[in-house]
Chain A
């Protein structure tokens, strides 16, 4: 129950916090139509179709206000006439401002719209793909007609056509300029993209092309005090924190008991591997590569795998320091056993034997580090004939093979 509540708090807290955080980037705000709306700009379209929602209101004309419409007295009166009491306006009424190119005013700002630099002609090769930006450059050039290559209607070949840049009616109706390729090289002016950064060099280029002013973007500044959902965000953070505290709270007695039992089973796995290896070592020199593989394979896929899978119980029961000490030694031993497996498979029994011998000391170390498992070598998991003995309470991995 406690775990479920903690999870619910975490989920709810994260959803509330991230949603309210995302809201801080909203482009609009809702304002009452009763206040001063000078300078505000409509965010979404409003049409007289709204009259259906307010059949009792009749003082309005058929009309649609597009996004970006300034809310002057006439527009506000019309909106009120529709029965609206509030309206969504852009949070930042102006997305750009015009600044002089000369001086430092525009320095460090970015372009709000693309700009054609007529003083900078540039050669464009045949084969160049024509996108919308290049169309603007073509139209700003002195060219009247351009030869382009377009895909045939079956999509399998190409054909060349003349494209009139000044009179669209002269152009073939079955193809488009955007997406076509230049068939012949042309010279067109350079175009600075929207968002281009205005450093001193770029401003000088603009001046050279005859621009006295330039439209630059107005950054959207975040103001904590004006952020309406800041307390909702704080609430979301508080919910998340409550979930964290519940999750990190003390374990119940049942959880402690279950953890201790789990560690007991892990201890059995570890001691079993150690004992198996200890029994195997004296016989190593009599085993060939195939027999070594048969001996090692069940260890890798059985107790070593199960110990690694259940390792977190050690941290829970005995703390991080013990966990690290056990896992440090265990991982060294495991790698040696894995190496023995690979060497046996590759037909290098000497290497397999050396690796198994090298695996025992770190296994002993791991057993010593895990409280309660530093018993002397016992019967282990090896039967007298060298096969792996499986404890009755542990499902045998190879049963399912």
Chain B
């Protein structure tokens, strides 16, 4: 900490250095994560990595960075990076379905950029409701705040954070070491450990169910249909710890799906005869748990939104007043947001007009209008889920979004995916904006500055993601004769799942009744007065249980520490460690993704 200077200096917050650094690191992360997302099916958040690198560059190299300046840098970086999941969950399906030649790249880019801007504009008015009133936890946002505050927290707390980072890096390293460096990892160790049955210790999972079944008592008591794999995922443990007790509901939903519905469905003969115990969880996920979970999530979110109307109304009034309060504006004015939203809506309208087969302006307006409304609703759902648990239900919402878009476009896939991509980009940006604003709130950043910058740069992300998807498609085609999916080493798993759903919907086999029944149960749960109960149970019904288990363990450990040492002590000493776990895995994950991208998939 430096001594008081003789003349007051303006506090560094928005600076060219922070913005340029943020854009550059955001573009790099976006490209690397787009690449790895197409290979493995899920993406990594970039805020924590940007915050760590921000300290290194802004303060270490340039000798200038402040806490709030670094907050701006991570805000910019994550907004440029985040859109990749919205793109890779949707756009590659056009390649898989052989429809890419029918897409106008300019309009696809314009629609996704419009989606990104709309997402940010829509979520800004709910900042007060989610962060100031409901005080949602946003575990990654909290972790990033820990990183940003670390220089002022004293040596001991900074050490705790760094130890957390190192532990996570070491633990995560051996999940990838064999594939990336040829160094033996957990899978090889598992084969060498004589006391462990073969296959219990995998490359990145521990199959506890398999171990139980290898024992005599396990064979007598354990149901082979129980999916009891644990991911070796420090980030999940850390996020669970930061979430604490409320996160246990997420575990409950996972147990319902994987330990009740799936085994009962198998043992009762509800599944096809060729599905055995090892395939039961997968079959139940696609045919029962995912549609039910999406229904619960949507129904729960709708009721939650109705309950939140007083808070949202109060937040809007507060935003309207804030211009005149103390001469300082907290948020972007509603009029600016309205103009931005209208502009983005117009872009969406023209994109729809250009891609719908009959080109009817009324239909295009309907598509753009419903797409915009859905964007608003789904954006709030995503932001709330992320705020409560750190899990983003993007895959489920993407499926539902494309289903809604197919309905609007009379089963025309190209405009449905185009609007779906715009919506998915929008909702990922909603969650990111809110994470960043949570971080900003914890370090005293100015919300209006964060919002302004996010709106200014958010359009870059979709352009980068689409360019990378296009380049990889072209490379794959030249190399394998196929863009993505079977026949390449880039399966694009989420887009492949979307392809299945699109074909199911177009074949008239969409499980609409399960969405409806789930919606009713989710709505009831959210009426119980427990915040977001329906949303959390629904979300966890279709998330992979192997990640929910360490997440739940993190929640339990936090509760134990709170009971033993008190909430304040736990917050002060354990949260930095948990934050380090999230950051450490993210750092190594992005490093591996970058190495793989640069090596052209050789690593």
Contacts and interface: CB of A to CB of B under 8 A. Distances in A.
Interface of A: 6, 10, 13-15, 17-19, 21-28, 43-45, 67, 88, 108-110, 122-125, 127-131, 133-134, 195-197, 217, 219-222, 224, 233, 236-237, 240-241, 243-244, 247-248, 288-290, 293, 301-302, 305-306, 308-309, 311, 320-321, 323-325, 327-328, 330-332, 334-351, 355, 358, 361, 395, 397, 400-401
B512 interface: yes
Given A43-B272, A110-B506, 9 more contacts: A22-B288, A24-B517, A26-B265, A26-B270, A43-B273, A301-B568, A342-B149, A347-B1, A355-B444
Contact of A331 (B441, B530, B571): B441
A48 to B, nearest CB: 18
A108 to B, nearest CB: 7
Given A67-B273, A67-B274, A195-B503, A217 B509 contact: yes
B486 interface: yes
Contacts of B481: 122-125, 128
B30 to A, nearest CB: 27
A134 B487 CA distance: 8
A328 B273 CA distance: 58
A371 B508 CA distance: 58
Contacts of B192: none
A184 to B, nearest CB: 12
Interface of B: 1-5, 8-9, 11-12, 66-68, 128, 131-133, 135, 148-149, 151-152, 256, 260-261, 264-265, 268-274, 284, 287-289, 292, 296, 310-311, 314, 318, 326, 328, 330, 411, 413, 441-445, 478-482, 486-489, 500, 502-504, 506-509, 511-514, 517-518, 520-521, 524-525, 527-530, 537, 541, 565-569, 571-573
A237 B521 contact: yes
A331 B441 CA distance: 8
Contacts of B273: 43-45, 67
Residue picked from A14, A109, A288, most chain B C-beta under 10 Å: A14
Given A195-B503, A335-B441, A15 B567 contact: no
A240 B525 contact: yes
Given A110-B503, A195-B500, A328-B318, A24 B513 contact: yes
Counting chain B CB atoms within 10 Å of each CB, which of A17, A25, A306, A308 scores highest?
A: A25
Contacts of A301: 568, 571-572
Contacts of A27: 270-272
A241 B527 CA distance: 9
A288 B256 contact: no
Instruction: Report which residue of B261, B269, B326, B444 has the largest number of chain A beta carbons within 10 angstroms of its beta carbon.
Output: B444
A44 B266 CA distance: 12
A248 B444 contact: no
A227 to B, nearest CB: 8
Contacts of A349: 4-5
B286 to A, nearest CB: 10
Contacts of A130: 487
Contact of B152 (A128, A293, A305): A293
Contacts of A236: 521
**Chain A interface mostly:** helix
B302 to A, nearest CB: 15
Q: Which 7 A-B pairs have the closest CB atoms?
A: A339-B444, A345-B152, A347-B2, A331-B132, A26-B270, A110-B507, A338-B444
25 contacts: A14-B521, A17-B517, A18-B292, A21-B292, A21-B513, A23-B265, A26-B268, A125-B480, A197-B413, A221-B508, A236-B521, A244-B527, A293-B1, A305-B571, A311-B135, A324-B310, A327-B133, A327-B135, A331-B441, A337-B444, A338-B443, A343-B66, A346-B12, A350-B11, A395-B566
Contacts of B12: 346
B568 A331 contact: no
Contacts of B274: 67
A25 B502 CA distance: 19
A302 B506 contact: no
Contacts of A339: 68, 443-445
B1 A290 contact: yes
B269 A400 contact: no
Nearest to B313: A324
Contacts of B272: 27, 43, 67
B359 to A, nearest CB: 18
B270 A288 contact: no
B444 A336 contact: yes
A302 B569 CA distance: 10
A248 B445 CA distance: 38
Contacts of B571: 301, 305
Contacts of B264: 19, 22
Nearest to A350: B8
A327 B132 contact: yes
A197 to B, nearest CB: 5
Contacts of B328: 358
B479 A125 contact: yes
Nearest to B287: A25
Contacts of B517: 17, 21, 24, 233
Contact of B444 (A133, A306, A320, A340): A340
A400 B311 contact: no
A113 B518 CA distance: 31
Nearest to A224: B513
A150 to B, nearest CB: 15
Given A25-B511, A27-B271, A131 B572 contact: no
Nearest to A21: B517
Contacts of A240: 521, 524-525
Contacts of B265: 22-23, 26
A116 B330 CA distance: 62
Given A27-B271, A247-B530, A321 B310 contact: yes
A304 B565 CA distance: 19
A289 B3 CA distance: 6
Contacts of A10: 525, 528
Nearest to A195: B503
B310 A320 contact: yes
A195 B3 CA distance: 69
Contacts of B506: 108, 110, 197
A134 B256 contact: no
Contacts of B567: 309
A301 B530 CA distance: 27
Contacts of B507: 109-110, 195, 197, 217, 219
A347 B270 contact: no
A44 B273 CA distance: 5
Nearest to B517: A21
Given A22-B261, A196-B503, A129 B9 contact: no
Contacts of A224: 513
Nearest to B152: A345
B518 A21 contact: yes
B585 to A, nearest CB: 26
A210 to B, nearest CB: 21
A246 B3 CA distance: 59
A23 B488 CA distance: 37
